[in-house]
């Protein structure tokens, strides 16, 4: 079940628990100074495994995720509530938040990986202990619904977080190389998210991983963004990402072109698209283009092609097997003519 199907199922289920009043009072750390970098991943480190949103359907799927993390050379510490399920959530909000707080407070845990996305991460944002998390910067990895967690911690705690593969997936050779490049070797400057190598031949050309250059030019700035739906859900909250002078990257799954149009229009009407230094669109997979509709390309071009910043589409971020790791908060350069995104610094220490 993808995120769109999961959200539809919510209409038939009661909402569980309420959000803390702290959501309205939470403060935002100013976007000043250098962004702190968590320690690079090394073999033998301990990874805390958590479920901030939805859970896998079966316990065996969780054990599969544990095996994936171990195969990468890490020990695994399971969140106390890792196996909980409450309808479309991986247990009550307080339990899911507690696991994240505990993993960052635990000195034996070196990094925190998310089992999967789904739905529910924004619900726990007011329940996180940002003071403790901020004192213990660690690699935090996930994507999709985890976008809310990555941006909230980056903004509130001042260290780089990582939009990349979840634990409950097999890593392709491409995904593993991008993972090691950013999180293990800590390379920089280095290109990230370039389409995988394709062997062209007579009668054969790349089709699935093409780059579209909507507007050329070069721009530098810190990276922000992730899943388009989640970025929009944070607007007007204390956890809203910083947009000014940032390179915004966006992806999504299961969204028809008109819904992508609606969300980009929301960002435009809120004045956010005029603030960014550049835009990188990743993959918009499983988009329903049946019936009388614009294409995804048309929507992206119309909403963003007129901006006076570089805009490209097609880097390997999103709900795809070949997936890069994008460090939220790291300095990068976007080349709209060359169609590339380059980290200007190592994202880990």
Longest dimension (CA), the chain: 63
Co-location of 130 and 224 in the same domain: no
Residue 16 located in a structural domain: no
Write phi, then psi, for 188 (nearest 5 degrees): 170, 135
Same domain, 156 and 216: no
Say whether 144 is catalytic: yes
Q: Please report whether residue 60 resides in a domain.
A: yes
**What's the number of domains the chain is made of?**
2
Do 156 and 245 fall within a single domain? Answer: no
- pLDDT value at position 344? 97
Terminal CA-CA length for the chain: 37
DSSP category for residue 145: G
- Active site includes 319? yes
Report pTM: 0.90
Residue 13 confidence (pLDDT): 39
Written as one string, the DSSP assignment of 34-102 is: PPB-PPPP-TT-EEEEE-SS---SSHHHHHHHHHHHHHTT-EEEE-TTTT--BTTBSS-HHHHHHHHHH
Residue 7 lies in a domain: no
Q: What is the domain range of residue 284?
A: 190-197+209-343
Q: CATH number for the domain including 156?
A: 3.40.50.10740
Predicted pLDDT of residue 26: 36
Query: What is the CB neighbour count within 10 angstroms for residue 19?
Result: 15
Do 188 and 347 form a contact (C-beta atoms < 8 A)?
A: yes
* Confidence at residue 4, expressed as pLDDT on a 0 to 100 scale: 54
pLDDT digits (tens, 9 = 90+) for 230-277: 999 999 999 999 999 999 999 999 999 999 999 999 999 999 999 999
Q: Is residue 261 part of a domain?
A: yes
State yes or no: is 207 an active-site residue. no
Catalytic, out of 229, 319, 333, 340 = 319
Segments of the chain with pLDDT less than 70? 1-33
Annotated catalytic residue, options 178, 242, 251, 333:
251
Residue 288's pLDDT is what? 85
- Catalytic pick among 54, 144, 229, 340: 144
> Is residue 332 in a domain?
yes
């Amino acid at each position: 079940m993808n995120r769109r199907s999961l959200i539809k199922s919510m209409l038939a289920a009661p909402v569980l628990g309420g959000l803390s009043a702290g959501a309205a009072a939470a403060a935002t750390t100013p976007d000043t100074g250098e962004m702190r970098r968590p320690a690079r991943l090394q073999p033998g480190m301990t990874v805390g495994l958590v479920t901030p949103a939805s859970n896998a359907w079966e316990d065996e799927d969780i054990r599969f995720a544990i095996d994936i993390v171990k195969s990468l050379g890490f020990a695994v510490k399971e969140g106390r509530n890792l196996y909980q399920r409450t309808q479309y959530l991986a247990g009550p909000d307080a339990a899911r938040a507690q696991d994240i707080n505990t993993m960052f407070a635990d000195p034996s845990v070196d990094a925190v990986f998310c089992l999967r996305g789904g739905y529910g991460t924004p619900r726990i944002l007011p329940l996180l202990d940002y003071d403790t998390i901020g004192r213990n910067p660690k690699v935090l990895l996930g994507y999709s619904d985890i976008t809310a967690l990555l941006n909230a911690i980056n903004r509130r705690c001042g260290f780089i977080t990582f939009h990349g593969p979840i634990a409950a997936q097999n890593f392709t050779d491409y995904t593993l190389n991008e993972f090691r490049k950013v999180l293990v070797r800590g390379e920089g400057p280095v290109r990230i998210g370039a389409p995988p190598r394709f062997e062209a031949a007579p009668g054969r050309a790349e089709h699935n991983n093409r780059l579209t250059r909507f507007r050329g030019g070069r721009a530098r700035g810190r990276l922000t963004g992730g899943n388009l739906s989640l970025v929009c859900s944070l607007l007007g909250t204390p956890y809203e990402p910083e947009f000014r002078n940032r390179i915004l990257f966006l992806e999504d799954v299961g969204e028809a072109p008109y819904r992508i149009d609606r969300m980009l229009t929301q960002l435009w009407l809120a004045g956010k698209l005029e603030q960014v230094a550049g835009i990188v669109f990743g993959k918009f997979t499983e988009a329903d283009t049946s019936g009388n509709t614009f294409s995804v390309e048309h929507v992206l071009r119309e909403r963003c092609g007129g901006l006076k910043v570089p805009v490209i589409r097609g880097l390997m971020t999103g709900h795809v097997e070949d997936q890069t790791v994008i460090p939220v908060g790291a300095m990068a350069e976007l080349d709209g003519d060359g169609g590339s995104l380059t980290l200007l610094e190592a994202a880990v220490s």
